Amino acid sequence: MSVRNDFPGLTANWHYLDSAATAQKPRAVIDAIARNYGEDYATVHRGVYRRSSDMTLRYEEARGACARFINAASSDECVFVRGATEAINLVAQSWGGANLRASDRIMLSVLEHHSNIVPWQLLAERVGAVIDVAPLTEDGRIDLDWVEANLTEQHKLVALCHLSNALGSVLDARRAADMAHGVGAKLLLDGCQSVPRLAIDVAALDCDFYVFSGHKLYGPTGIGVLWAKGDILNAMPPWQGGGSMIDRVTFARTTYTPAPGRFEAGTPHIVGAAGLHAAIDYVNAIGIDRIEAHERGLAGKARDALAQVNSVRLFGPEDGLGIVSFAIEGVHPHDIATILDEEGVAIRAGHHCCQPLMDQLGVPATARASFGVYSDESDVAALVQGVERVRTIFG
C-alpha cells in the first residue's frame, strides 16, 4: 500500500508513528475543508437561501456517511459531537443521569482511556453509583472471564475500549455485549482506535453506544460521533440547551426536537462534518480490510524487530493492531522519544491518558509507535535504528 503522497503533512524523511494520537490528513480532506470554508460556506438548518440549503444537505449527507460506515440502522442514530470525549460525557450526563441511582454499578476496565473513566467517576459521585474495574489477562487484554464472573443485576452499564490506545489489544466486543445484556446492562464501546483500523458493524456487535473521533480517522479535529440505538437515544433528555435543539420555546415551557437534533445545541461544526465525510470516503476507497491487514503487518514486524533488541520490554499482545508500546531498561520514554525525534522518527511517550494502566504495568510511562494507512516498512526500519541509537547513547 503506497498512499504516502496523498498526505501533505508527511515531509521527506519524516517517520510519523503517532497515528493513535491523531492521524495525518489526506489532500482530499484538506481540500474538502478549504472548499466548505470557502465558496460553499453557509450555515445549516436555518437559511432558506440556496447555499444554506445546499450546505444543510451536505451536513446531513455526512451524517448518513457516518451511519453507513458503522452500519447504523438510521442516520438519526448518529449525533455529531466534538469527539469521543464529549460523546462519553453526553451519555454519562444524559442517559446516566436519567437511569443510574445510588448503589447501581458501572463496569470499566484498567485498560481504559481517562475519557472513559472520569465521566463515570463524576456521574458516580453525583448519584452514588459504584464503579468496578476489570483486570487484564497476562497478555494485556480485558479479562472478560473476570467480567462475566463479576457482573450482577446491579450493573447498569459496561463501558470498554474496543481497541486499546496503549497496547493495541482488541476486545471481543460481541461477547462483552452478550454478557452486559445478560444482566440487563447497556454496553458502551470506545471506538476511537478501532474505527480507523477495523470494519465496524454496530448491529452485529449489538452494543448500545459507540463513540469515535474524526481526527483519528484522517478527518479534522473538533468533530466526532455518538451512535446509540434509536430507542435509547430518543428516550435520553437533552444535556445542553440553546439553538437548533428546540421545537418550541416559551417562558412557561420548552419542547425539544427528536434525536439527533436535541443533542446538537448551537451552530454545529459544519465544515468538520464535511471533512469527516471526505475522510470516510477516502478510507472506503482504500478499503478498511486492507488497512487492517496493512497495520497489523507493520505492527507485527515492529514487535518482532524490537523483541530482538536487548533491554527492550514490549507490552500488550503479540497480535496487537496498529500499536506497539515498549520500554528500554534504564531509559525514560521521554528520552527515547527525544532521541528518536533527532532521527526523524515521531513517536508518543507518556502514560497515553491511561495512568491506571501504567500503574498496573509497573511503569511511569511507555514509548508508543502507532501506524496509519500511510506507514510503511521504512518507518519500522527507522524506528528500530533509532532504538539502537538510544541503547548506544545510554550504554
pTM of the model: 0.97
pLDDT at 11: 86
pLDDT at 361: 96
pLDDT at 362: 95
pLDDT at 8: 97
Alpha-carbon span 91 to 97, nearest angstrom: 9
> Which residue type occupies 355?
Q
Which residues form the catalytic set?
353
Q: What is the residue extent of each domain of the chain? A: 28-285, 288-394
Q: Sign of the CA dihedral 133, 136, 141, 144?
A: negative
Domain 28-285: give its CATH code: 3.40.640.10
Mean pLDDT for 36-65 is 94
For 272-313, how does the pLDDT look when each residue is reduced to its tens digit (9 = 90+)? 999 999 999 999 999 999 999 999 999 999 999 999 998 999
Angle at 88 between CA 76 and CA 239, to 5 degrees: 65
- Name the strand (E) or helix (H) holding 255: strand 254-256
Q: Which residue has the cell 501504567?
A: 358
Looking at 3.40.1640.10, 3.90.1150.10, 3.40.50.720, 3.30.365.10, the CATH number of the domain 288-394 comes to: 3.90.1150.10
C-alpha cell recorded at residue 83: 469527539
Q: Which residue has the cell 457482573?
A: 151
Query: Helix (H, G, I), strand (E, B), or coil: what is residue 206?
Result: coil
Using N-to-C axis directions, what is the helix angle for 50-69 and 270-286, rounded to 10°? 40
For 322-344, how does the pLDDT look when each residue is reduced to its tens digit (9 = 90+)? 999 999 999 999 999 999 999 99
Query: Helix (H, G, I), strand (E, B), or coil: what is residue 54?
Result: helix
Of the candidates 211, 195, 198, 202, the one whose C-alpha atom is nearest the C-alpha of residue 159 is 211
pLDDT at 224: 98
Confidence of residue 25 (pLDDT cuts 50, 70, 90): very high
Alpha-carbon span 193 to 215, nearest angstrom: 11
For 345-392, how does the pLDDT look when each residue is reduced to its tens digit (9 = 90+)? 999 999 999 999 999 999 999 999 999 999 999 999 999 999 999 999
Of the candidates 222, 195, 248, the one whose C-alpha atom is nearest the C-alpha of residue 72 is 195
Helix H segments across the chain? 27-37, 50-69, 84-91, 97-99, 118-127, 144-150, 173-182, 202-205, 230-235, 270-286, 288-307, 333-342, 355-361, 377-394
Q: Which residues contact 220 (CB under 8 A, 6 or more apart)?
A: 25, 29, 33, 214, 271, 272, 275, 276, 279
Q: DSSP letters of 209-228?
A: EEEEESGGGTS-TT-EEEEE
Query: Helix (H, G, I), strand (E, B), or coil: what is residue 72?
Result: coil
pLDDT at 12: 85
pLDDT at residue 395 tops 90:
no
Burial grade of 244 (CB within 10 A; 0-12, 13-18, 19 or more): middle
Strand partners, 107: 132, 158
pLDDT at 47: 80
For 117-151, how does the pLDDT look when each residue is reduced to its tens digit (9 = 90+)? 999 999 999 999 999 999 999 999 999 999 999 99
For 194-230, how does the pLDDT look when each residue is reduced to its tens digit (9 = 90+)? 999 999 999 999 999 999 999 999 999 999 999 999 9
Alpha-carbon span 132 to 151, nearest angstrom: 9
Alpha-carbon span 3 to 327, nearest angstrom: 30
Mean pLDDT for 68-81 is 98
Mean pLDDT, the chain, whole residue set = 97
Confidence of residue 154 (pLDDT cuts 50, 70, 90): very high
C-alpha cell recorded at residue 378: 521504512
Alpha-carbon span 298 to 293, nearest angstrom: 9
For 223-263, how does the pLDDT look when each residue is reduced to its tens digit (9 = 90+)? 999 999 999 999 999 999 998 899 999 999 999 999 999 99
C-alpha cell recorded at residue 321: 493492531
